[in-house]
Amino acid sequence: MIEKSISNIVAEAFNAIYSASVDPKDVLLQKTRKDFQGDYTINVFPFLKISQEKPELTAEKIGDYLIKMVPELKEYNVIKGFLNIVVSDQYWTTFLNDHIGDQMFGRSQASSENPTVIEYSSPNTNKPMHLGHIRNNLLGSSIAEILKAAGHDVVRVNLINDRGIHISKSMLAWQKWFNGRTPSSENLKGDKLVGDCYVKFNKVFNSEVEDLIRSGVEKGEAEKNAPLMLEAQEMLSKWEDNDPAIRELWTKMNAWVYEGFEKTYMRLGVDFDKVYYESDTYLLGKSLVDEGLKQGILIKKEDGSVWADLSEEGLDEKLLLRADGTSVYMTQDLGTAQLRHDDYHPDKLLYVVGNEQNYHFDVLKIVLKQLGRKWAEDIVHVSYGMVELPHGRMKSREGTVVDADELMDEMYHSAEAMARELGKAADLNDEEASMLFETISQGALKYFILKVDPKKNMLFNPEESIDFNGNTGPFIQYTYARIQSLLKKAEGNKMQANIDDYSGDIFPKEKEILKILYAFPAAVREAAAELSPAIIANYAYELAKEYNQFYQEINILRETDSEKAAFRLALSLFTAKVIESGMKLLGISVPQRM
Query: Does the pLDDT of residue 478 top 80, yes or no?
Result: yes
Phi, psi of 106 (to 5 degrees): 95, -15
444 near 473, Cβ under 8 Å? yes
Query: Does the pLDDT of residue 501 top 80, yes or no?
Result: no
pLDDT given for residue 454 in this prediction: 96
Element (H, E) at 11: helix 2-18
CATH homologous superfamily of 404-585 = Isoleucyl-tRNA Synthetase; Domain 1 (1.10.730.10)
Beta bridge partners of 29: 42
Query: Does the pLDDT of residue 394 top 70, yes or no?
Result: no
320 near 330, Cβ under 8 Å? yes
Rounded mean pLDDT of the chain? 93
| 123-150 mean pLDDT | 96
Amino acid at 477: Q
Beta bridge partners of 141: none
Domain at 120-398: CATH code: 3.40.50.620
- Please report which confidence band the pLDDT of residue 391 belongs to, taking 50, 70 and 90 as the band edges: low
Provide DSSP, 122-159.
--BTTS--BHHHHHHHHHHHHHHHHHHHTT--EEEEEE
Pairing mode, strands 274-277 and 299-300: unpaired
pLDDT given for residue 462 in this prediction: 83
The 10s digit of each residue's pLDDT in 418-474 is 999 988 888 899 999 999 999 999 999 999 999 999 999 998 888 889 989 999 999
CA angle (255 as vertex; 320, 239 as ends), nearest 5: 40
- State pTM to two decimals: 0.92
Q: What is the b/e burial string over 234-252, where b = at least 16 CB atoms within 10 angstroms of the residue's CB?
A: ebbbbbbeeeeebeebbee
Amino acid at 349: L
pLDDT given for residue 397 in this prediction: 43
Query: Does the pLDDT of residue 148 top 60, yes or no?
Result: yes
pLDDT given for residue 408 in this prediction: 94
pLDDT given for residue 396 in this prediction: 40
Beta bridge partners of 157: 119, 274
pLDDT given for residue 8 in this prediction: 95
CA angle (537 as vertex; 533, 540 as ends), nearest 5: 140
To the question of domain 2-87 being in CATH 3.30.1360.70, the answer is yes
Strand ranges in 226-300 using DSSP code E only, listed in sequence order: 274-277, 299-300
Could you tell me which residues come within 8 angstroms of residue 332 by beta carbon, excluding any fewer than 6 positions away? 161, 278, 281, 282, 285
- Please report which confidence band the pLDDT of residue 34 belongs to, taking 50, 70 and 90 as the band edges: confident
Query: Does the pLDDT of residue 360 top 50, yes or no?
Result: yes
The 10s digit of each residue's pLDDT in 278-337 is 998 889 999 999 999 999 999 999 999 999 999 999 899 999 998 888 888 899 899 999
pLDDT given for residue 400 in this prediction: 53
- Please report which confidence band the pLDDT of residue 395 belongs to, taking 50, 70 and 90 as the band edges: very low
What are the extents of the domains in the chain?
A: 2-87, 120-398, 404-585
Angle between helices 55-69 and 2-18 (to 10 degrees): 120
The 10s digit of each residue's pLDDT in 541-590 is 999 999 999 999 999 999 999 999 999 999 999 999 999 999 999 999 99
Element (H, E) at 71: none
CA dihedral 174, 180, 183, 187 (to 10 degrees): -120
Query: Quick count: other Cβ atoms within 10 Å of Cβ 344?
Result: 18
The 10s digit of each residue's pLDDT in 91-128 is 999 999 999 999 999 999 888 789 999 999 999 999 99
The 10s digit of each residue's pLDDT in 78-87 is 998 999 999 9
Could you tell me which residues come within 8 angstroms of residue 224 by beta carbon, excluding any fewer than 6 positions away? none
Element (H, E) at 384: strand 379-384
Beta bridge partners of 119: 157, 351
- Please report which confidence band the pLDDT of residue 399 belongs to, taking 50, 70 and 90 as the band edges: very low
| Residue whose C-alpha is closest to residue 355's, from 135, 533, 161, 561 | 135
Three-state secondary structure call for residue 572: helix
